[in-house]
A and B are shown apart, each in its own frame.
Chain A
Amino acid sequence: MVKKELNVSAIKNGTVIDHIPANHLFKVISILGLDQSESMITFGTNFKSKKQGRKAIIKVAKKFFADDDINKISLVAPSAKLNIIKDYQVVEKRNVEIPERIIGIAKCFNPKCITNNEKITTKFSLAGKEPLALKCHYCEKITTAEHLEVL
């Protein structure tokens, strides 16, 4: 069933990340560090999706993500769904959740923020989910979805 739906080769054990917005596929790859990974990875993009127009899918063999890691992609792919595969079967489905603390992922929109002028790991707390609002730990300004840039 998985095979038919995804239209790319199935994996025996690992994680399938589905429902990634097509335009954010490479950001998701970069946030998860998959470009540095030794795992066997297949991905596809511009699949038609009833829910979101065009979606992308990533399959990572022999890899299971910790919640903290996978939640990092929530800023660019809040609708992403995880399928945990064991022995070709989906044994668990998970959604991503926006974490309360967002560290080193997003850029503060305030040009006068110290983090945009010196090499500093950005830190935000979640000030709102719908609509998304991130409060900068340093300049205390709110970055909203329309100004959000992922590092």
Chain B
Amino acid sequence: MKNKSLVSITDFSKDEIMRIVELASEFEANPNQKLLDSKVVATLFFEPSTRTRLSFETAITRLGGGIIGFSDSSSSSTTKGETLKDTIKMVSNYSDLIVMRHPLEGAARYASEQSSVPIINAGDGANQHPTQTLLDLYSIYKTQGTLDNLNIFMVGDLKYGRTVHSLLMAMSHFNTTFNFIAPDSLKMPDEYKLFLDSIGIKYYEHKEFTDIISEADILYMTRVQRERFSDPIEYEKVKNVYVLRNSMLNHTKDNLRILHPLPRVNEIHTDVDDNPKAYYFQQAENGVYARMAIIASILGLVK
């Protein structure tokens, strides 16, 4: 995967995904490897995202690389009307790799066509955020010891949530059984269900968030956001239905882990936080190791 941009999770094959996950585990065991010595990585955040930027910059720093860039577009030349193309052409002359986040969808794909160095998409609007998916996969691998044959429950906003869509695409390589729990208005879109049908992956849909989770290996929670609802009454009806409480975890499997891309609103009650099955805070930390693995692979610094 040397010199290959990572724009969408579907850009990486099953083998490439497995390699990233294994490498992340090696970096976690031995985090200070100065593989990026004298390399320059640009982090271009055309919209602010402190969480994602700090995770990337920690990964780059641990690898010994230098960082150039900006943390929001008000401090960049784009406020003077420079096109994305011109910014990318300039920055790719200075750097070995570009990490970018942009509010417009498709911006990273376009940048990858204009850049002479690889692009890592750190989020393009509501479209793709593949490094989030790879850190989710690493979290699943680390907690379950495998990615194969797992039972994954996805809960909440399955219609607009890009993280669940990318996770579904990535996990479809691993004979996953999916359970989707969502209100009618936020159901998993047909295109993803048709895709699973086409490759023979099993999935089940539920409206009630009840003891059906007793079979789950992974419970992937998402935010149900008020702005997704045209009818405020509909939001009020569902907002408290898809909330995970500690008491609901009594009859679940020992290996169950609860993931959430964070930040949460109220969909995971704070009484879950001390349960050993709660994994969302460690999940965020895994992002640094996953990103170290992605950067080192794309720059060809590891085999």
Q: Mark A49-92, 1 if CB is under 8 A from B, else 0.
A: 00000000000000000000000000000000000000000000
For chain A, residues 108 to 128, give those with C-beta under 8 angstroms from any C-beta of chain B. 110, 112-115, 117-120
Tell me if A114 and B83 are in contact (CB < 8 A).
no
For chain B, residues 111 to 138, give those with C-beta under 8 angstroms from any C-beta of chain A. 124-128
Tell me if B105 and A138 are in contact (CB < 8 A).
yes
Tell me if A114 and B107 are in contact (CB < 8 A).
yes
Distance in Å: Cβ of A64 to nearest Cβ of chain B: 34
A133 closest partner in B (C-beta): B191
In the assembly, what is the distance between CA of A138 and CA of B106, in Å?
4
Q: Is B94 an interface residue (CB 8 A)?
A: no
In the assembly, what is the distance between CA of A37 and CA of B211, in Å?
70
Tell me if B125 and A138 are in contact (CB < 8 A).
no
In the assembly, what is the distance between CA of A39 and CA of B84, in Å?
40
In the assembly, what is the distance between CA of A118 and CA of B128, in Å?
19
In the assembly, what is the distance between CA of A139 and CA of B109, in Å?
8
Q: Is A137 an interface residue (CB 8 A)?
A: yes
Residue of B104, B107, B110 with most partner-chain A CB within 10 A:
B104
Tell me if B83 and A137 are in contact (CB < 8 A).
no
In the assembly, what is the distance between CA of A117 and CA of B128, in Å?
18
For chain A, residues 94 to 151, give those with C-beta under 8 angstroms from any C-beta of chain B. 110, 112-115, 117-120, 136-142
Tell me if B109 and A138 are in contact (CB < 8 A).
yes
Q: Mark B69-104, 1 if CB is under 8 A from A, else 0.
A: 000000000000001110000000000000000111
Distance in Å: Cβ of A118 to nearest Cβ of chain B: 6
In the assembly, what is the distance between CA of A110 and CA of B110, in Å?
15
A135 closest partner in B (C-beta): B191
Tell me if A118 and B105 are in contact (CB < 8 A).
no
Tell me if B84 and A140 are in contact (CB < 8 A).
no
Contact of B8 among A114, A118, A140 (CB under 8 A): A140
Cβ contacts under 8 Å, B103 to chain A: 112
A137 closest partner in B (C-beta): B109
Distance in Å: Cβ of A128 to nearest Cβ of chain B: 10
Q: A112-B125, A118-B110, A120-B110 are in contact. Are A139 and B105 (CB under 8 A)?
A: yes
In the assembly, what is the distance between CA of A115 and CA of B112, in Å?
14
Cβ contacts under 8 Å, B110 to chain A: 114-115, 118, 120, 138
Cβ contacts under 8 Å, B102 to chain A: 114
Tell me if B127 and A140 are in contact (CB < 8 A).
yes
Distance in Å: Cβ of B165 to nearest Cβ of chain A: 10
Tell me if A110 and B85 are in contact (CB < 8 A).
no
Tell me if B85 and A140 are in contact (CB < 8 A).
no
Add 20 more A-B contacts to A118-B85, A139-B125 (CB < 8 A): A110-B105, A112-B104, A112-B105, A113-B104, A113-B106, A114-B84, A114-B102, A114-B110, A117-B104, A118-B83, A120-B110, A138-B105, A138-B107, A138-B110, A139-B105, A139-B127, A140-B105, A140-B128, A141-B105, A142-B191
Contact of B84 among A113, A118, A141, A142 (CB under 8 A): A118
Distance in Å: Cβ of B191 to nearest Cβ of chain A: 8
Distance in Å: Cβ of B173 to nearest Cβ of chain A: 19
Q: Mark A5-30, 1 if CB is under 8 A from B, else 0.
A: 00000000000000000000000000
Tell me if A113 and B109 are in contact (CB < 8 A).
no
Cβ contacts under 8 Å, B128 to chain A: 140
Cβ contacts under 8 Å, B8 to chain A: 140
Q: What are 12 A-B interface contacts by the 8 Å CB criterion?
A: A112-B105, A113-B104, A114-B102, A114-B105, A114-B110, A114-B124, A115-B110, A138-B105, A138-B109, A139-B127, A140-B8, A140-B127
